Amino acid sequence: VVLVVDFGAQYAQLIARRVREARVYSEIVPSTMPVAEMLAKNPKAIILSGGPSSVYAESAPSLDRSLFESGVPVFGMCYGFQLMATTLGGTVDNTGAREYGRTPLTVSKPGSTLFEGTPAEQSVWMSHGDACSAAPEGFTVTASTDVVPVAAFENDEKKLYGVQYHPEVLHSTHGQQVLEHFLYRGAGIVPNWTTHNVVEEQIAAIREQVGEKRAICGLSGGVDSAVAAALVQKAIGDQLTCVYVDHGLMRKGESEQVEKDFVAATGVQLKVVDAQERFLAALAGVSDPETKRKIIGREFIRVFEQAQAEIVAEAPDDHPVAFLVQGTLYPDIVESGGGTGTANIKSHHNVGGLPDDIEFELVEPLRQLFKDEVRMVGSELGLPDEIVHRQPFPGPGLGIRIVGEVTRDRLDLLREADAIAREELTAAGLDREIWQCPVVLLADVRSVGVQGDGRTYGHPIVLRPVSSEDAMTADWTRMPYEVLARISTRITNEVPDVNRVVLDVTSKPPGTIEWE
């Protein structure tokens, strides 16, 4: 394993992902973890992430010097680089000379371990206030910028490397190459981590954990729960029952996809619960987004509990239903573990999320994986592309894409508009380029239009196509005008009561991806 030491501000996750892209397994650890504990994990290398602090700030996180003397190869980035420099006797000045954003880097030692084969002038992403003016003894300076005399250094003998910039972001044009040089050349790691190994390991681990008992899994139609269920099904077969709660907030064709395609691909035992009436009744008269989310979460749990009781009642003498399968991903774990003072932006409702007082043991076979890796596992398990490459869809479904009260008529209308948008995006070959494209009905807004010969007073539909790597941040997708035009024409022609289509051109932040 390669450890990524997290100094804050979300850089660590991206680094961990880049390491895995280099086919080396990585894990994130907090910077407060004692060095002895890090070393006890037997890491093949350690990467120190960037972070928001200045090494001079009083509360700045530090690291014990013994880390650099342990013989484990270390790569410091940005804050991690400065920490390495100061800890080992180099000089970092608080000069006030800031560099932020795309910056030209001059490589002075082109044949060095990190920079071998990369150009002498390259663009890197900088974000710092302090600057390193002298490398520690025994280190060779390998690159500089106009502002920073020491922008990268290395000590091959001790296997210590550092760069002032952020190689993990795409704006650093040769960042991935530099990272791979550290892993392969610096640390001598052989890249062999694949999701294939994950499948085999997880199947064995699930069998061991569950034994002869039974498990259930809530299916939401999303990628994560589908892949988790398929993996567990492969491990324990009919000891698993999947429960699909049809809350009526799904998109067109979605329930059928779960019921037919998923079962066909996996042979899983499926229990479908039609709970449409129940959800509509619970949502009647509610327009506040957080209230909607809480109601949907609560009703889901009730239905799920009921289904669980039915499964037990149908075969009471069988082994107990002791396990709950969840499609929890690595970012969920990292975020909930490192959640110091993170604001609650929205009550995310993961279908499958249950209250504390239900006594299940959790089976979370995807807890080491990032989203793209989950997709690879899904393909490996033979799930069809329509499931594996599905764009993310929120647990509360269309319930949080109707701004205003959720009613059956409004759901039907939104379902039609959404189906048209999806059809056209697929036809234009944009499904993979666009991370997801929420289609939102502004049910409480009306505007004047003219259709046929008459005046109309209908609702707007919002298109929200976004590009993203992990949904933490996103940009609005610059998609072709012709495709937008086709979607707009079709929606206004084919969906009754909609007379306007608008495009959301807000990035995240400041806007979230969903409207509620």
Q: Which residues belong to the active site?
A: 78, 166, 168
- Judged by CB under 6 A, the residue of 8, 392, 404, 449 near ligand XMP is 392
Residue 508, phi then psi, degrees to nearest 5: -120, 120
Q: Would you say 346 or 490 has its CB closer to ligand XMP? A: 346
Residue ranges in 269-288 that form contacts with ligand XMP under rule CB under 6 A: none
512 binds ligand XMP (CB under 6 A): yes
- Judged by CB under 6 A, the residue of 221, 396, 458, 460 near ligand XMP is 396
221 binds ligand XMP (CB under 6 A): no
Q: How many residues bind ligand XMP (CB under 6 A)?
A: 14
Q: Is 453 exposed, middle or buried (0-12, 13-18, 19+ CB in 10 A)?
A: exposed
CB of 207 to ligand XMP, least distance (A): 28
- Judged by CB under 6 A, the stretch of 10-18, 194-202, 401-409, 507-515 that binds ligand XMP is 507-515
- Judged by CB under 6 A, the residue of 394, 458, 460, 465 near ligand XMP is 394
Question: What is the distance between the alpha carbons of residues 20 and 26, in angstroms, rounded to a whole number?
Answer: 6
Residue ranges in 234-273 that form contacts with ligand XMP under rule CB under 6 A: none
180 binds ligand XMP (CB under 6 A): no
Taking a C-beta distance cutoff of 8 angstroms, is the pair 7, 49 a contact? yes
Q: Would you say 290 or 494 has its CB closer to ligand XMP? A: 290
User: Do you find a cis peptide bond into 320, omega within 30 degrees of 0?
Assistant: no
Q: Would you say 392 or 449 has its CB closer to ligand XMP? A: 392
CB of 512 to ligand XMP, least distance (A): 3
CB of 389 to ligand XMP, least distance (A): 14
327 binds ligand XMP (CB under 6 A): no
Question: What is the distance between the alpha carbons of residues 165 and 174, in angstroms, rounded to a whole number?
Answer: 11
* 471 φψ region: left (φ > 0), alpha (ψ -120 to 50), beta (else): left
Q: How do beta strands 140-144 and 214-219 pair?
A: unpaired
- Judged by CB under 6 A, the stretch of 40-48, 92-100, 155-163, 341-349 that binds ligand XMP is 341-349
Tokens representing 115 are: 């920079």
513 binds ligand XMP (CB under 6 A): yes
511 is in an annotated binding site: no
Tokens representing 272 are: 């479908």
Q: Is 37 exposed, middle or buried (0-12, 13-18, 19+ CB in 10 A)?
A: exposed
Q: Is 307 exposed, middle or buried (0-12, 13-18, 19+ CB in 10 A)?
A: buried
220 is in an annotated binding site: yes
218 binds ligand XMP (CB under 6 A): no
224 is in an annotated binding site: yes
Q: Is 483 exposed, middle or buried (0-12, 13-18, 19+ CB in 10 A)?
A: middle
- Judged by CB under 6 A, the residue of 41, 302, 348, 408 near ligand XMP is 348
508 binds ligand XMP (CB under 6 A): yes
> For the chain, what percentages of helix, strand and coil (3-state, to nearest 5) are there?
35, 20, 40
- Judged by CB under 6 A, the residue of 113, 118, 350, 492 near ligand XMP is 350
One DSSP character per residue, 413-439 reads HHHHHHHHHHHHHHHTT-TTTSSB--E
31 binds ligand XMP (CB under 6 A): no
CB of 476 to ligand XMP, least distance (A): 12
- Judged by CB under 6 A, the stretch of 271-279, 284-292, 389-397, 425-433 that binds ligand XMP is 389-397
40 is in an annotated binding site: no
470 is in an annotated binding site: no
Taking a C-beta distance cutoff of 8 angstroms, is the pair 397, 471 a contact? no
One DSSP character per residue, 261-319 reads IIHHHH--EEEEEE-HHHHHHHHTT---HHHHHHHHHHHHHHHHHHHHHHHHHHSTTS-
421 is in an annotated binding site: no
Can you give the length of the chain in residues?
516
- Judged by CB under 6 A, the residue of 174, 181, 214, 349 near ligand XMP is 349
Which helix (H) or strand (E) segment holds residue 243: the answer is strand 240-246
Letters for 419-448 (x = contact with ligand XMP by CB under 6 A, - = none) are -----------------x------------
218 is in an annotated binding site: no
Residue type, 360: F
CB of 435 to ligand XMP, least distance (A): 7
Taking a C-beta distance cutoff of 8 angstroms, is the pair 137, 171 a contact? no
Question: What is the distance between the alpha carbons of residues 219 and 171, in angstroms, rounded to a whole number?
Answer: 38
514 binds ligand XMP (CB under 6 A): yes
395 binds ligand XMP (CB under 6 A): yes
Which residues contact ligand XMP by CB under 6 A? 346, 348-350, 392, 394-396, 436, 471, 508, 512-514
Q: Binding site: residue ranges?
A: 220-226
| Binding-site annotation: residue ranges for ATP | 220-226
